[in-house]
Amino acid sequence: MALRLGDTVPNFTQDSSEGTINFYDWAGDSWVVLFSHPADYTPVCTTELGQVAKLKPEFDQRNVKTIALSVDSAESHKGWIGDINETQSCSVNYPILADPDRQVSDLYDMIHPNANNTLTVRSVFIIDNNKKLRLTFTYPASTGRNFEEILRVIDSLQLTDNYGVATPANWTDGGDVVVVPSIPTDAAREKFPKGVTEVKPYLRMTPQPNK
């Protein structure tokens, strides 16, 4: 059965490029981005893995760990990492799960038979520090992911968890945010001392409260 937003994600123990990983233990108190790849030694994936390695300081700043998955073996991953580091001018600094038995692919519904019945699609799972699924993206194998968008979503999720706001279309960190409908306008003006602009009774904007 497919995972849905708000579900507690399943635990697993699986081999990886950095040894055996128990997912819950490895994740600890961190948020996690788990993202899958159709296979090792594939061109688009090589660019993606390099990009994530380069973005590690950004993920660290947000208390996020990254972990990739491919259906090939851990030994294959280690050879591929050499190519990634060489071609992308990076150093892969996070684990790549080995999933030849499809245990994790099946648990997380990463194989879509109408797209390809043997390879994982490009799935992304953003999981919070309570092991709850907060967002999923599913890309076809032919399309590389935008990891700046993944960072943007994490910024939104972490902000909206803590401040009683929502983020509007195309929001980026530092932009004005939406006051959630459950907060009356008078209460909002007290809660958000930077000011509340009432565009419509149901659409109230305020400067990002943690900036």
Q: Known catalytic residues?
A: 45
Measuring CA to CA, which residue among 98, 90, 94 is closest to residue 32? 94
In one letter, which amino acid is 109?
D
| Alpha-helix runs per DSSP H in 93-146 | 103-107
d(C-alpha 6, C-alpha 203), whole Å: 26
Helix pair 43-54, 147-163: axis angle to 10 deg: 50
Sign of CA dihedral 199, 149, 33, 110: positive
